[in-house]
Every structure is written in structure tokens, then in C-alpha cells.
A and B are shown apart, each in its own frame.
Chain A
């Protein structure tokens, strides 16, 4: 009897011990990092990283610039969100960049950075990124690391599937996440099926970068999710995922998850160009803005647009085909050869891979399975090249290396799964911490992947870093993919929420990096080229201060004769022509921000003095040994005062 209890007791102890050992073992095994890892990510002080990594800031609206393999953050490029540090959206020069048909929009949700390409290879000229909420696309100039242009996308409910590229950056594309009435109007929400439509936009990119919404395609009212341009043989085509083919307008988590297959829209954009040339488009009136930053004038301009060309698929045969794709596909990724199109069926148990050549054959043989609004649906079996079985739960996105493998992020099972193109077999998998969204391989969505690393972009970090209250950092994780097995090298925190990211060898970008703006080329109407031109000009209650900075003083640094109720514009030109010598400008009580003026450029701060008194201003960027002496005073007199307008430096 006792013996029996003793046995049971022993068994229980054994079970508990096993559980404890396994549990502790699991805790430890989550960091399977071996000894030589530190060496692989250590970038010696004073030496450069091998790659630039550009991560989207997600809800921060900006772009993070990191080095790989170190994971060091170099810069946050302000794009869609105001940034008082850089006066982005606060200086008079940059305000027009935020103009939309809804007025000044100071924030957006930036998801997908995309490096410009030449012949299908990242060329390091520009970085495009989408604004998801108020549909926009930005172009960042990688010589200045400044946002050079922001274009609003008309007839879009949300710009998620964007900004993906064609092989030579002929176009950036955009597809609407939300279908909406087009043109937008006041309709009952339950009239979705009748009134709601989607659009796919092709934005032409001129040689020097200027964007223009060349044409849009009116498509059935689904949710359009992500996209990728074809390359090589599939150049001339672009692929867009869609979900909610159920056309639900409420409780989408259930109602949009019913169909076994949704669609990838394959768009023949060369054909679309022909139709546009033949005049087979309808001109819709539309209200949208293109904002661009003039490099020579150091200021932004807004251009209002009033119409857009729209193609209707039923009137343009051969323009779009639907590839049936299992279960609400998210990413659509084209392999380096341009033949295979992998979809991330986020609720599917497989990764379907379509074949471009089979698709072309199926189109030729009209292997259709009905149509939606005149868009033929190709037979799944006719276009499918293979299925990756057991790819993890919730496959989202695939990037490719230079050795014929695909790497898919699986959100729910929180892992990266490596599979072989052609045999579709899973060859390796590695956990991520935690809940990976996108992933990035340098050049991994181009014709020429540089390989070497895969970067996981994670949504959740929980216990990975020191806690910082309820909101924790999101993260990137760096894995070595040069061997057969993926190896975790490094975790590093990211700004905002990193969705997609792009990486490129450093030398391609750094050789173009600007050091200064030549002062003689500064065409800002309020710039001055020499200290002797510094002056203050009153025009009614508007006062223009033409100010210069050079180590280590402002000219003028004493200003009198400003009155309460004046509208004062400080136009500050940094006369420095030396690398890494910006000057700052901040004035007490300013309701906007500081200025941070790069060598050779001009920026303007608007100031509304509301109370009389003396106001100091000073340089905010530690510029030299006498930085702390770089300051000045403004005397503000009461309204109607007869204190004469006067200014000087050094008297």
C-alpha cells in the first residue's frame, strides 16, 4: 500500500522534474546563439557597416536608417510626420510637403520602403514609401536623405499595397486597401457591393524623379493588400493581392475569411499603356496634390491636380487576370528570375507559388473559371507551379536569396521558413522573437539578391529588452543565411513599427552622399550670400529678418523695433561650407520648433511675438568652441510703439 503511494510519489516527482527541466531548457534554448556570433556583427569603431538598412517607421510615419550588421541607428528621416527637431513640417519651406486634398495632414502610417531600381537591381538613388492612411507616396532622395516629393493618390481608401516598382522604376504602383465609392460620395455603408470599388494606380517616375499619377484601373470592390512588379520575363506585369472578395463591410475578421480562395490580380501594364495611348480611358475629376522639394531653392512647392485617367477592365480586354490564391493572401513576391510568384496566404496551410509562364499559357488557352466584372479568373491548377507544404502558420511575406531559396515569414508560428524554389520543400526554419511581419534580405525582392542576411521585422518583443512601461520597442533580428542553416546573430530595437525594410550595399549609396549645399547655388528667395546682406525689412506688420549664421555668430544678433502683433519671419541662411557644421536657431516662446540649417541652405521660422519684452535666440547645434556665445536678442515693443527698426552685429 505504502509502496504503491511511494511509487506514485516518485513518478510524480519525476514528471515534475522533467517538466521543470524541459521548461528551463526551453527558456534557455530560445537564444541559440553560438560563440562566434559577436564577431560577425561587431563593426570596429571608426569603420563602416556593409549595408544600409531602411526600415519603415509604421505609425511613426518616418524612415529609420540603420547599418548592417551592427544594427546601429544613424538617422530618422522625417517623411509623413512633422519633426520639430529638423523643423520638418514646421519651417515655412517644408510646410507645403504636408499638403493634401484634406489640407495639412501632419502624420501618416508608413509601411513599405522600396529602393529605386535600374534593370531590376536596387540603384540607391531614391527610397519610396507609402502613406497608408491619407493615401500618399513619398520619394526620399538618398543623396540628401531628405524627402524630395510626396504625391497624393486620388480615388483610394487607404494606400497599403504600395509603393512597389517596375524593373526600371518606370512606375511605382499603389492599390487601395479600402474600397470606397469612386468618386467618393455619401452612400449607405451596406450598399458596399453596389457602390464600392477599388483602384490600382500607376505612378510614372520621371528621369529626375518627379512622380505623376499616369493612370488608374477601376477594379472590383475588394481589399487590395500588397504588390510586386514582375521582372525579367514577367517585366511588363505587376501583381496585386486582394482579400475580402466576399465584399463584407463589417466584421471582416469573420466575414472576409469565408472564401477558400481570393485573388492575385495580374496587371499587364504595358497593355495598359497601349490602351491609354489609344485614348481608351475615362477622365475622372479628382482632387489631389503633388508636393516637391526644390533642391536649389531649399523649399517645397504644392501643385494641385484636378483629374486622372481611369481604365475600366471590362472595356480593356487582356488588361487584368485574376489568379485564384488560397485564403486572404497578404504578400505577393516575385523570385529573382521573374518566373515564380509566391503568395502569403495568411490563413492558408500552404504557400502557393504561381508560374508566370504557366499563366501566359493559360491565358493563351483561355483556361478560365468565370470572371468578375469582366476580369477573367484563371484556373488555379493551370497557373500553380507548386505549393510549399507546412510553411508555418500565417505565412505573410517571402524574400529570396542568391542561391535559389525563398524565405517566408510566418506570423502566427513566429518563424522564418526557408524553402527551395522548384522542389518547394522546406529545408530550414528558425524562430523569431516574436510575431514576425515582413522580412528583408538585401536585394531580396530584386533580380540580384546580395543575400548574406535575412532581417526579421517583429511586432512583439515582450521579454527581449529592458521593459519601458506598457509600450515596448519593436524590433529587428539579424540572421546569417550564408550557410545551410539560418543563424541568429543580433536583436536590435527599431523606431515606430517596422513593416517592410530594404537593404543595399553601403558603397552604392554613400558615394552619392552630399556633404554641403554650395552657397552660390542657393536660390531661396530669402537667402543671403554674405553677412553684409543681413537685414530686417518691415512691410506693414510683416517683418522679414534676413539672417546669416557662421561660426560663431548670427547676423544680425541684435534686433529692435519689433512690435507685439507683428508676423516675423526669420530667414536663416547657414553660410558655412564645411562638412557636418549645421547651425540651429531657436527663439524663446516660439509656438512651432527650432530650425536646423544645413551648410549652404536657408530655412524660415515664423514667429508671432505676443508680449512685449526682450527675447533671446540662440544656436541649438553645438557648432564650435564658442557655440555657447552664439546668441542674440530681439526687443519687442508694444503695438504702435515708435521704436525704430534697427539691427546689427558686433557694435
Chain B
């Protein structure tokens, strides 16, 4: 593998460190009573509010419709994901230094599989929160579920929920793109 591709792969691995500093996904809620905005930020290792206290306030609102409280400490994915990222950084660096194309293929494949699992898991998490409602909730609307969309927006009673990837997701995406570019450049020089 040529040195240019190696440098690109090392870069692609190291920029993953940035995912510790930016949210992965955002869920914003729009309602007339919240002109200042209210929302959630899902990170690889935590869930925070768009503003301080937003998480608590969303939990407070959710209790009316019987949604479970979101307790970040009780979500195992947030404990596992940082290790997966660290593993992928090391994997990427090793494949760059070893210079083996098959390792890079494997790295990309693993990335895509993990991303698919991650999105499925996220969907199921949303499904669980949106469907498993407390039967004693104050507000019960027959047939109504409160699952936010995976991507896009959806009206949930008075709230418009907007779910979108955030910076860290784009970083993951960019890492894969860089890895593919490294492979293409390497193939060209081999020809």
C-alpha cells in the first residue's frame, strides 16, 4: 500500500477521536410553548439536553403520556459505544501501518455492519420508548404511539419531533469515505 493511502487511513482513524466531543444524533422538539427550543443530543457515551435541564424537562413532559424516564446511566449502549470507537481507531491504525488492503476492506465492512446494527438498535430503543407506555398515564389517546422518527420529523401531539444525524455521525461517514479513497488511490498506483 502506498504511503499516501497510509496517511489517509491514519487520518481517517484519528478523526474518530472527535466523536467523543460531538453528539451523534439530535432529537429536537418544537411546540408553541417552547419558543426557546427543547431537545436531546445523543452522544456515543451520553444523552444530554439541547440546553441544561432539557433532559429532565422532557422526562417531565413525557410522564403525562406515560413514557419511561430516559436515564442515560441505564442505557448499556452508551457504555459499549466508546469501546467500539476505540477498537475501530486501533483497527484502522493497524490496517494502515500493516498496509494490507484486505484489512482495510474488513475495517470498512465492519464499520457498515456496526452502523447498521447501531441504527437498528436506535430504532428499537425509540420503538420501546414510544410504545411501552404506563397504563396509568394521565393522557391516554387510543392507538397513539410516541415513537420519534429515525430520520425526519413527525407530529407527536403538540410536539413536532425532528430527528437528525449530528456531527459525530458525519465524522463516522467521512471516515468511511476516506478509507474508500485510500483504497482507490492505492489501486491506481498499483496499476
Contact = CB atoms under 8 A, between A and B. Distances in A.
A9 interface: no
Contacts of B138: 625-626, 629
A516 B56 CA distance: 14
Contact of A550 (B36, B53, B60): B60
Interface string B154-177: 000000000000000000000000
A516 B51 CA distance: 13
B139 A551 contact: no
A346 to B, nearest CB: 49
A578 B60 contact: yes
B64 A577 contact: no
Interface string A567-582: 0000000001111000
Interface in A550-591: 550-551, 576-579
B64 A625 contact: yes
Contacts of A550: 60
Contacts of B53: 516, 577-578
A625 B57 contact: no
B40 to A, nearest CB: 15
Contacts of B64: 624-626
Nearest to B35: A46
Nearest to A578: B57
Contact of B60 (A551, A579, A625, A629): A551
Instruction: Report the contact-size class of chain B (Cβ under 8 Å from the partner).
Output: under 10
Contact of B56 (A577, A579, A624, A626): A577
A626 to B, nearest CB: 6
A579 B139 contact: no
Interface in A237-269: none
B57 A577 contact: yes
Interface in A598-651: 624-626, 629
Contacts of B57: 577-578
B36 A625 contact: no
Contacts of A577: 52-53, 56-57
B135 to A, nearest CB: 15
Interface in B27-72: 36, 52-53, 56-57, 60, 64
A390 to B, nearest CB: 53
Interface centre among A551, A579, A625, A629 (most CB of B within 10 A): A579
Interface centre among A578, A624, A625 (most CB of B within 10 A): A578
B139 A625 contact: yes
Contacts of B60: 550-551, 576, 578
A576 B56 CA distance: 9
Contacts of A629: 138
Nearest to B60: A551
Contacts of A626: 64, 138
Contacts of A551: 60
Contacts of A578: 53, 57, 60
Interface in A349-374: none
Contacts of A579: 36
Contacts of A516: 53
B73 to A, nearest CB: 16
A577 B64 CA distance: 17
Contacts of A576: 60
Nearest to A599: B53
B133 to A, nearest CB: 17
Interface in A250-297: none
Interface in A413-442: none
A627 to B, nearest CB: 12
B131 to A, nearest CB: 22
Interface in A531-563: 550-551
A551 B139 CA distance: 14
Interface of A: 516, 550-551, 576-579, 624-626, 629
Nearest 3 Cβ contacts at the A-B interface: A577-B53, A578-B57, A626-B138
Given A516-B53, A550-B60, A626-B138, 7 more contacts: A576-B60, A577-B52, A577-B53, A577-B56, A577-B57, A624-B64, A626-B64
19 contacts: A516-B53, A550-B60, A551-B60, A576-B60, A577-B52, A577-B53, A577-B56, A577-B57, A578-B53, A578-B57, A578-B60, A579-B36, A624-B64, A625-B64, A625-B138, A625-B139, A626-B64, A626-B138, A629-B138
